[in-house]
């Protein structure tokens, strides 16, 4: 029983976000960054059209900003599989840019012009449909 | 007339009270990941919770004993203790996730700090539980939870492909990423068959002094309440497919789910969704904390009862207060309530057989239940779901590991 618990704990820990970034992990992380971009696009578009409450726009933008910042930090520092470092660090920069854009939306949730401008950049960055 | 009105009001409260954070997270995420391909799992889960609840309610009506009274009696003190510990751990994880959910929605509505809102949410829940009669608590949170019907409107307005929705009711395996697909099957079943709902339900039957004359009422409650509540799960999955999958979004935050109602319905949709989630998750917090206290009190033979003044059942009252504080201690560490929900749902699937099997045995016991023991249909369904529950209990943790808790 005890060894089963240890095995589960080890497997869970190795599955967490702290290991080497291999091709599979990079694909997953890239998909998540795209997902955050697309959600940010919906959020900014709704803010532009005045379809959100100020608090919702501000707080949800902050949630997404923190998530993007965590990705930027992790991808900038984690070890990578050979041949992938350049792509991983590029994704880190992409996540950092996303985080700073979301920071602007968080600070100015009622600025419709800014929201419109950000919505376009989020949509482009995430290839959203 | 007043009986009919009461029944109608009860049904409305049941619909509003069916959905909890597990349903919100898993149904929306399943729709966002696999579109409508997993629609078939929802009816299976809903029938499962109906079968389980109906048996527990019938046992309560015939014997006057709730789930953990029965488990201790049938499984013995030692074996029953494993079931109790497993159920209490899962209950606590679920409670922590629900309370985190309440604080997140309050944050989205008020702009206040999440860490400030957590203790405020706990105090508010404790005050409500201490001062308001349970009938009123159920009505308030059940009717408030009806705001979630906005997702049914959003599901229609978001223009899903209804042919694909219909095809989703035919059980099949996904071609792409079958492990993740199976993980969602387990998660959806676990979310629909959450054990705390059953503990709460059967304890309520004992407190309402059900007798064998109430077996028809028990059956109607279980079928109509859970059946109609499952309708909301379908709506959430359709919104997941029609809004989030279409735009390439994996909803990882509770607030994102509300955006699924904003997209087709605007600001009103967003507000209805947030209020509905707040009441649904708040009501589920109260059900969960009461369930935890019921389980312990029934197992240890303490005085218990939500209709009793706390002074009349002090250890019961102390237990739910301790559970609230323990849940706060978990969630204030900063753990993500959505991630906590996934763990709670998966572990509840693992623990489900520990209480399901004793109830199935008792419900089928001629000496114990007399003429009210399981009929042929109840037995067939009971055994089929025993197999389903055993399979999901065995597969849940390996699938959680293989898919990295549904992350890939």
Q: What would the pLDDT profile of B337-362 be if each residue is shown by its tens digit?
A: 999 999 999 999 999 999 999 999 99
pLDDT value at residue A16: 47
For B82-140, what is each residue's pLDDT tens digit? 999 999 999 999 999 999 999 999 999 999 999 999 999 999 999 999 888 888 888 88
- The ipTM of this complex is 0.89
Q: Which residues of B touch A50 (CB under 8 A)?
A: 267
Q: How sure is the predictor about B11, in pLDDT bands with cuts at 50, 70 and 90? A: low
Kindly identify which residue of chain A lies nearest to residue B401, measuring between CA atoms.
A12
* Mean predicted confidence (pLDDT) in A92-109: 97
Q: Which residues of A touch B251 (CB under 8 A)?
A: 39
Q: Under a CB-based contact definition with an 8 Å cutoff, are residues B259 and A39 in contact? A: yes
Q: What's the CA gap between B272 and B253, in Å, rounded?
A: 17
- To the nearest whole number, what is the mean pLDDT of chain B? 92
Q: How sure is the predictor about A70, in pLDDT bands with cuts at 50, 70 and 90? A: very high
How many residues belong to chain A?
129
Q: Which residue has the higher pLDDT, A117 or B65?
A: A117
Which domains, from first to last, does chain B contain?
17-402 (1.20.1740.10)
Q: What's the CA gap between B137 and B142, in Å, rounded?
A: 8
Does B16 score more than 80 pLDDT?
A: no
Mutate to test the interface with A, among B33, B86, B100, B107 (most CBs of A within 10 A): B107
Q: What's the CA gap between B99 and B239, in Å, rounded?
A: 24
**Nearest CB to A51 within list B248, B251, B266:** B266
Does A18 score more than 80 pLDDT?
A: no
Cα A98 to chain centroid, rounded:
7
Residues 6+ apart with CB under 8 A from A124: none
For B362-407, what is each residue's pLDDT tens digit? 999 998 899 999 999 999 999 999 999 999 999 999 999 999 888 7
For B214-272, what is each residue's pLDDT tens digit? 999 889 888 988 888 899 999 999 999 999 999 999 999 999 999 999 999 999 999 99
Q: What's the CA gap between B382 and B51, in Å, rounded?
A: 7
CA distances from B354 to B77, B86, B94, B314, B381 (A): 13, 8, 17, 28, 18
Q: What's the CA gap between A37 and A125, in Å, rounded?
A: 7
Q: What's the CA gap between B326 and B351, in Å, rounded?
A: 20
pLDDT value at residue B311: 74
* Mean predicted confidence (pLDDT) in A35-50: 97
Domain ranges of chain A: 22-126
For B150-207, what is each residue's pLDDT tens digit? 999 999 999 999 999 999 999 988 878 899 999 999 999 999 998 898 998 889 889 8
| Angle of helix B337-363 versus helix B376-402 axis, rounded to 10 | 150
Q: How sure is the predictor about B208, in pLDDT bands with cuts at 50, 70 and 90? A: confident
Residues 6+ apart with CB under 8 A from B49: B192, B193, B194, B197, B198, B222, B226
Q: How sure is the predictor about A123, in pLDDT bands with cuts at 50, 70 and 90? A: very high
Q: What's the CA gap between B357 and B80, in Å, rounded?
A: 11
DSSP A21: B
Q: Which residues of A touch B109 (CB under 8 A)?
A: 53, 55-56
Q: Which residues of B touch A43 (CB under 8 A)?
A: 259
pLDDT value at residue A15: 47
Contact yes or no for A42 and B247 at CB 8 A: yes
Cα A9 to chain centroid, rounded:
26
What is the Cα gyration radius of chain B?
A: 20
Backbone angles phi, psi at A125, to 5 degrees: -65, -35
**Nearest CB to A39 within list B108, B249, B267:** B249
pLDDT value at residue B99: 97
Q: Which residues are bridge partners to B371 per DSSP?
A: none
Q: Which residues are bridge partners to A21 per DSSP?
A: A80
Query: Widest CA span of chain B, in angstroms?
Result: 59
Nearest to B88, CA basis, from B263, B294, B283, B314:
B294
Q: What's the CA gap between B125 and B401, in Å, rounded?
A: 34
Backbone angles phi, psi at A80, to 5 degrees: -125, 155
Contact yes or no for B252 and A67 at CB 8 A: yes
Q: How sure is the predictor about A14, in pLDDT bands with cuts at 50, 70 and 90? A: very low
Nearest to B106, CA basis, from A65, A54, A56, A46:
A56
């Amino acid at each position: 029983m005890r060894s089963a618990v240890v095995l589960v704990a080890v497997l869970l820990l190795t599955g967490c976000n702290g290991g080497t970034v291999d091709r599979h992990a990079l694909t997953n992380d890239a998909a998540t960054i795209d997902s955050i971009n697309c959600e940010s696009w919906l959020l900014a578009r709704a803010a532009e059209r005045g379809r959100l409450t100020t608090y919702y726009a501000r707080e949800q933008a902050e949630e997404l900003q923190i998530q993007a910042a965590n990705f930027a930090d992790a991808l900038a520092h984690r070890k990578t599989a050979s041949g992938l470092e350049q792509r991983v660090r590029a994704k880190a920069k992409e996540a950092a840019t996303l985080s700073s854009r979301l920071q602007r939306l968080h600070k100015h949730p009622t600025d419709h012009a800014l929201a419109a401008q950000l919505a376009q950049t989020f949509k482009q960055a995430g290839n959203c449909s | 007339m007043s009986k009919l009105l009461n029944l109608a009001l009860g049904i409305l409260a049941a619909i509003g009270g069916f959905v909890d954070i597990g349903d919100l997270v898993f149904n929306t995420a399943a729709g966002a990941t696999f579109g409508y391909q997993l629609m078939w799992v929802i009816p299976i889960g809903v029938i499962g919770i109906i079968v389980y609840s109906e048996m527990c309610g019938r046992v309560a009506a015939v014997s006057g004993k709730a789930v953990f009274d029965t488990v201790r009696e049938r499984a013995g003190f030692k074996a029953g203790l494993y079931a109790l510990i497993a159920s209490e751990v899962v209950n606590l994880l679920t409670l922590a996730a629900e309370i985190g959910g309440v604080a997140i929605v309050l944050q989205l509505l008020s702009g206040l700090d999440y860490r400030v809102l957590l203790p405020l949410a706990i105090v508010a829940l404790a005050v409500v539980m201490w001062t308001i009669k349970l009938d009123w608590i159920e009505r308030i949170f059940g009717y408030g939870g009806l705001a979630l019907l906005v997702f049914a409107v959003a599901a229609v307005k978001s223009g899903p492909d209804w042919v694909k929705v219909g095809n989703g009711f035919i059980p099949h395996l996904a071609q792409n990423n079958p492990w993740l697909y199976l993980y969602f099957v387990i998660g959806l079943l676990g979310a629909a068959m959450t054990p705390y709902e059953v503990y709460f339900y059967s304890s309520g039957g004992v407190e309402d002094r059900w007798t064998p004359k109430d077996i028809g009422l028990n059956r109607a409650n279980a079928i109509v309440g859970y059946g109609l509540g499952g309708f909301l799960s379908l709506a959430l999955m359709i919104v997941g497919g029609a809004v989030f999958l279409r735009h390439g979004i994996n909803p990882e935050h509770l607030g994102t789910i509300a955006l699924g109602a904003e997209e087709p319905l605007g600001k009103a949709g967003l507000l209805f969704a947030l209020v509905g989630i707040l009441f649904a998750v708040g009501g589920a917090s109260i059900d969960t904390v009461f369930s935890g206290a019921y389980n312990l009190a029934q197992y240890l033979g303490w005085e218990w009862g939500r209709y009793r003044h706390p002074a009349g059942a002090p250890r019961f009252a102390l237990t739910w207060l301790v559970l609230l504080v323990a849940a706060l201690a978990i969630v204030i560490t900063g753990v993500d309530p959505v991630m906590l929900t996934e763990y709670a749902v998966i572990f509840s699937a693992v623990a489900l057989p520990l209480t399901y099997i004793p109830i199935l045995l008792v419900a089928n016991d001629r000496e114990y239940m007399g003429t009210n023991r399981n009929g042929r249909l109840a037995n067939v369904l009971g055994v089929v779901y025993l197999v389903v529950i055993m399979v999901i209990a065995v597969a849940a943790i390996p699938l959680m590991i293989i898919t990295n808790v549904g992350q890939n």
